[in-house]
Structure 1
Amino acid sequence: MQSNWQDDLSLLESMDYMLTNEVDCDISFKLGKAGLDVVPAHKFVLASRSSVFRAMLYGPLAEKGCLVDIPDVESDIFKCFLRYVYTDKCTTTSDNVTALMYTAHKYNVRRLVKECGQFMMDNMSTVNVCTIMENANLFDNRELRQKCLEFIQNQCTEIVESKLLTSLGPDCLGEVLRSEELDAKEEDIFAAVVSWADCRCTEKCLEVNGSNRRQVLGDLLYLVRFPLMSADNFAIISEQNTGLFTSKEEIELLRGQITNDFLKTSFSSEKRKQKTYPQDVCYRFQQHDINHGWKYTKPDALQFKVSEAVDIVGVILFGNSSSAYRVRVDILELGQMTDTTGTLTSTEKSFQVLFNKTVAIKPDTYYTLKADLQNGPPGYRGRNGRTSVKCNSTVFTFQTAPSPNNGTSNCQGQLYGIIFRKK
């Protein structure tokens, strides 16, 4: 160590140097359960940044020795934490952010708690949002917890159908189920709740059955809105989950299905608010590039990708005026399809085909749309198609699909437009 190392360093650089090189340290910490790693530091710096450290090191009940045992924080996390205490900077990653937030919360370094929370918000996804919500609940971070709830509400269909709610504890699950803005079918919500209950049964070494599911769910079951289900669907649920409902609950729900009066049940019959999102259409062709003469001898196909995540609502296909078609539309990579009839009036050249439910599309990934029109005459087509179309902030890119194909390509043919909405 040079004797004049301070000469060219700023205050923060000097602090970092003293920590890294263990200059004049007067306190050490034995870290982790094994306690094999000892990290030195400076009392004055710690006390200046943390009220907990100040009480620990200078208060009436201050540590007497120069070695403090911290078994609940591992060495790499504590070193990262100290780097922030000394310099206001540290390397936060998905692997260390939870433990780092725990340490910052434990020692009341609020700025680092906030920065960890912001990192979690910025890196939130359907896969990790429930884990983040649990951490927010553990650390009493209400802002982060609310952001997680809003994210779950906005991405409810994917989270519920993928049964990702299993990462939640009872408190957070209850908060989610109380939400008026879960945009998913109640049957799917119930299936996700059953998966959650099954995980808790397994953790408690209980047999997975209706009675034990009810034992781990308790009053959380009342947050599932069974009155919103059809009588047939509820009957199936009741039959498959013997012991989940009491006899009284089952009778009240079945009676309510018949009379449409659920006032005597403990289950809410209020419809959840379905979020509405503005729809947009990406058109491949200009109006003056549409003419007649497209024959349907086999399915038409086209590949597309988007610049940002969207939900596909449906497609717009060409047809012939005053005609009807039996049509099937597939998104091959997702196994998503719809089979319906399309009818055109005497002035129409195209018609909409909507999917039964929206289809989540990831950015920068090519998907194949296939349209099979049957039982109808030759129709209109497009020419001089645009390979890249910007719709507000979303860019659609089209390319010719591999054979077999009816002739549709990125410049001509069928598949006039894609109906979508931004997430």
Structure 2
Amino acid sequence: MEKLSFTQPSRTMADKALANAKSIWNFQQKDQFCDVEFKIGKFKKSMRAHRNVLACSSDVFFRMFTGSLPETTVSIPNIDPCAFTEVLRYLYIDECKMDFRNVEQILDCAEKYNLKRLKKHCYTFLACNMVPDTIWQIFYLADIYFLHSGLRTKCFDFYESNSKKCLESSFISNLPEGLFRDIIEHTPVSCKEESIYEACLRWVAKKLSSERPRDRDMRKQLIRSEILYKIRFSCITNDYFGHNISKRKILSKDEIASIQRSMYDDGYSDELFISDIRRPKLHKLMRCGVRKDKSWKVGEWKDAIDICFREVLLLHGIVVFGTISGESNYKIDVSLMEPCGDEQRTISVLQGKELETKQRTALYDVLLKQPVEIKRNTKYTIELLMIGACTVSGCDYETEVSDGTFKVTFANSPDSYNGTNIKTGQIPGVIVSNVYDS
């Protein structure tokens, strides 16, 4: 049989194109065959390049360098030479040494000259480098250059999981008023209200530092920026409020009295300040589906179920079934008990919660006023008393439920007098989250 021989394959077109690009980049570095001059930065440093390379990457450059009067000198005062070198490097050889010192200037140049691929490269850099120290710079740039790209949403997702550390970042004090207000208004957070209040003080202090001493009024600035009434003072602990807030000239005497009343009176509604606590991102762990052709009688006896988690977490509430007939009204009592020796002690109570159900909706969230920190591998009992019409029931009940983040085990409770157990009944799910940032 004839022996076949093979020759080494030639370089691919991509390899050749890259080699040619690097050769042209070397020409640029040595100022060879360049035919356009840039005046860069406030000192107008001269940097030269090749018009054909730039025109291939940008329709703006193409129009500048063609026509009856093509431009041969271009001034770009708002970028420093090092950052512009990286812009050119990317246009020539698809490489860019980017960091948080030059990314804004590079982005501004990419936006001005419609360098779409470079702008996409900046987006990738920002999206892949979210840490607490950089998150608000990314948030700021997202608002200017990537308003509809989803980068802003990614920032909020990161903030929700790392709230306390993000609020401690120094860059947050540099944010414009509107962006800072967006953060303070954002509800899903993993920190306590005290951290948000302290971030507001730092932001205002930075703004007042440029004012004349006689104009430095923190309360007026908080009101003028529409931030004061975004802080949920009634969600702050009484000790912290007494030692750190009530003695400062931030709130009026009437505001302090109203806030303190809302801390202790569940039926009181503060007209100025929001009283609902900010909660972390919530997870629902459902132990069954919905069966609308079968009813569950409520009102006379308590339903109860035991729960046990594999990790430390916050329990925010439970899920309950609604009426089988559509619209109805319920009064709900929820109790959470934990073991205490041979007995149980109540650690959270929600009484007289009013629930209005709607047509075509079977499941409803019932949130505790304050989330409760749950210990791992500890049995807790949830008791539920619903007063109202019969509700729908469940199907396909499971004793162990996991959503990939949390795992709960349901067990029969001796305190369930209305029939709820691991195979049937009320309390189809629990609502949990990670603990607050420490």
Shorter-chain TM-score category?
0.5 to 0.7
Residues 222 and 266, structure 1, Cα contact 8 Å, conserved in 2:
yes
- Match for residue 76 of structure 2? 70
SS at match of 1:28: strand
Residue 164 and residue 23 in structure 1: after superposition, are their counterparts in 2 closer, same or farther (change >3 A)? closer
- CA deviation after TM superposition for structure 1 residue 20, in Å: 2.6
Q: What is the TM-score normalised by the length of structure 2?
A: 0.54
- CA deviation after TM superposition for structure 1 residue 100, in Å: 2.1
Residues 15 and 86, structure 1, Cα contact 8 Å, conserved in 2:
yes
CA distance in 1, matches of 2:239, 2:110: 52
Residue 126 and residue 112 in structure 1: after superposition, are their counterparts in 2 closer, same or farther (change >3 A)? same
CA distance in 1, matches of 2:156, 2:239: 31
**Gap runs ≥5 in structure 2:** 1-13, 285-310, 314-338, 343-371, 375-403, 406-433
Matched, 1:240 2:247: yes
Indicate the RMSD between aligned Cα atoms, in angstroms: 4.0
- Match for residue 210 of structure 1? 218
Partner of residue 115 from structure 1, selected from 108, 113, 121: 121
CA distance in 1, matches of 2:258, 2:70: 62
CA distance in 1, matches of 2:218, 2:61: 50
Matched, 1:30 2:36: no
- Match for residue 51 of structure 1? 59
Q: What is the TM-score normalised by the length of structure 1?
A: 0.56
**Equivalent runs, 1:13-412 vs 2, <5 Å:** 13-21=19-27, 22-35=31-44, 37-58=45-66, 64=71, 66-142=72-148, 143-160=150-167, 165-206=172-213, 209-214=217-222, 218-230=225-237, 233-234=240-241, 236-242=243-249, 244-245=250-251, 249-250=255-256, 252-254=258-260, 256-257=262-263, 259-260=265-266, 263=269, 265-275=271-281
Residues 104 and 110, structure 1, Cα contact 8 Å, conserved in 2:
yes
**Cα displacement string for residues 51-93 of structure 1 (whole angstroms, at most 9, x for unaligned residues):** 3323433479x665x2111111111211211121122222333
Residue 262 and residue 56 in structure 1: after superposition, are their counterparts in 2 closer, same or farther (change >3 A)? farther
Residue 63 and residue 249 in structure 1: after superposition, are their counterparts in 2 closer, same or farther (change >3 A)? farther
**Gap runs ≥5 in structure 1:** 1-7, 279-311, 315-341, 346-355, 359-391, 394-419
CA distance in 1, matches of 2:276, 2:39: 55
Percent identical pairs in the alignment equals: 25
CA distance in 2, matches of 1:357, 1:59: 70
CA distance in 2, matches of 1:344, 1:264: 40
CA distance in 2, matches of 1:161, 1:27: 46
Residues 31 and 74, structure 1, Cα contact 8 Å, conserved in 2:
yes
CA distance in 2, matches of 1:152, 1:205: 34
Deviates more, 1:41-50 or 1:175-184: 41-50
CA distance in 2, matches of 1:252, 1:343: 36
**Cα displacement string for residues 136-191 of structure 1 (whole angstroms, at most 9, x for unaligned residues):** 22324442222111111110133336676324332222222222211211122111
SS at match of 1:30: strand
Name the amino acid aligned to 2:184: L
Question: Higher relative contact order by CA 8 Å / sep ≥ 6: 1 or 2?
Answer: 2
- CA deviation after TM superposition for structure 1 residue 276, in Å: 5.4
Residue 93 and residue 276 in structure 1: after superposition, are their counterparts in 2 closer, same or farther (change >3 A)? same
